Amino acid sequence: MRIREIDISRGILILIVVFVHSHIPYSIVVYISYFLSTFMFISGYLYKDENFSVKLKKIVLNLWIPFVFLSSIGYVIFYIINKNIGYSDDVFSSYFNFLLFGYAPIDMPVNVLPLWYLYMFAIAEVLFLLFYKLRLIHVIPLLSILTTLFVHKQTYFFKIEIALHGLLWFYLGFLVKSKGFKFKIKKSELIFIISFVILIIIGGINGLNDWRDSNWGEYPILSYIGEGSFILLVISFSNMIKKEGIKRFFELFGRYTIFILGYHMILPGFFAPLLKDPLSFVEKYWYIYFLISTTILYYFLKFVPKNFIHLLSGQFHLLKSD
């Protein structure tokens, strides 16, 4: 049985992804940059013990194949755009490093860059699977802390350093599920306010928490406080929503997170030729761009057949014949 608050939380989170990638000012990004922990927490909460080969197959189908497919599509689209505007002759220079190592320099194709998270998430799930089968999951917090303290820059080591940092939240999500947590929070309004205040304080002290680059801020240990606060913020907010229409809105986004991750820059980009200088417009009117992107994505998800969305996402195992 699906838990609505989980789909709502996922919808909130993927819209935050769209928001962050709408060229919002750094002064806002710095406080929102702690949100990725919540995706990890939810996945840990949903983790089910299965045969090793079965679980590994699901990771490949749900994460690895979509990552390779969406990355390839993204590079091709960026190449076509570059052929028309002459922005760069070196579009594919990062392609194999990205596919093999998840290495994501900031100057790689902008529409592909967010997909590093799918790569890292696949690595994180494989690591947790190994720890779980070896009955070593309780060493995860220690490994996470050590990684966070000593690795502050992304490497070519298969995003393992980032996976280990985030795996703490996967572990805690798994743990609270085993303790009977039902994704319900009492006094959700109070928890929301407290976690919001803590997040503002941590963001102000610690600065940007950049998972992509293995950069956990000025004081890496504080990143855990900010990330934990964001988890409580999102869960409490999902509990606070009472109107059915708003719940359905977030649920719609929450059920297609991989598609949105792959296309939230591409779909609005089709309207770029209507503007004389699209980049300047986005940088100046980022809030309008976010609303336009959200609207385009909403109507696409609402009216386009599910099979077509799964096909575009590289989630071929979800395709169903009529």
Tokens linked to 186: 């009492």
Q: What is the pLDDT of residue 278?
A: 79
Q: How far is CA 242 from the centre of its chain?
A: 25
Task: Give the residue from 289, 283, 169 showing the smallest Cα distance to 234.
Answer: 169
Q: Residue 215 forms beta bridges with which residues?
A: 210
Distance CA 202, CA 223 (A): 8
Q: What is the pLDDT of residue 173?
A: 98
Q: What is the pLDDT of residue 282?
A: 87
CB 109 within 8 A of CB 75: yes
Each residue's pLDDT expressed in tens, for the chain with a length of 322 residues: 788 999 999 999 999 999 999 999 999 999 999 999 999 999 999 999 999 999 999 999 999 999 999 999 999 998 887 776 655 667 888 999 999 999 999 889 989 999 999 999 999 999 999 999 999 999 999 999 999 999 999 999 999 999 999 999 999 999 999 999 999 999 999 999 999 999 999 999 999 999 999 999 999 999 999 999 999 999 999 999 999 999 999 999 999 999 999 999 999 887 777 777 778 888 899 999 999 999 999 999 999 999 999 999 999 999 975 4
Distance CA 279, CA 273 (A): 11
CB 266 within 8 A of CB 22: no
Q: What is the pLDDT of residue 84?
A: 67
Distance CA 7, CA 300 (A): 18
**Does residue 89 sit in helix, strand or coil?**
coil
Q: What is the pLDDT of residue 322?
A: 47
Across 87-111, b (16+ Cβ under 10 Å) vs e yields: eeeebeebbeebbebbbbeeebbeb
Distance CA 187, CA 192 (A): 9
Distance CA 60, CA 121 (A): 11
Q: What is the pLDDT of residue 283?
A: 87
Sort residue 102 into left (φ over 0), alpha (ψ -120 to 50) or beta. Answer: left
How many Cβ atoms from other residues are within 10 Å of residue 2's Cβ? 8
Q: What is the pLDDT of residue 188?
A: 95
Alpha carbon distances (Å) from 241 to 12, 181, 275: 11, 19, 37
Residues 6 or more apart from 177 whose CB is under 8 A from it?
Answer: 44, 45, 46, 47
Distance CA 213, CA 134 (A): 29
Residues 6 or more apart from 198 whose CB is under 8 A from it?
Answer: 225, 226, 229
Residues 6 or more apart from 145 whose CB is under 8 A from it?
Answer: 168, 221
How many Cβ atoms from other residues are within 10 Å of residue 255's Cβ? 18
Distance CA 2, CA 49 (A): 18
Tell me which DSSP letter residue 276 carries. S
Reported pTM: 0.94
Task: Give the residue from 151, 169, 173 showing the smallest Cα distance to 160.
Answer: 151
How many Cβ atoms from other residues are within 10 Å of residue 245's Cβ? 7
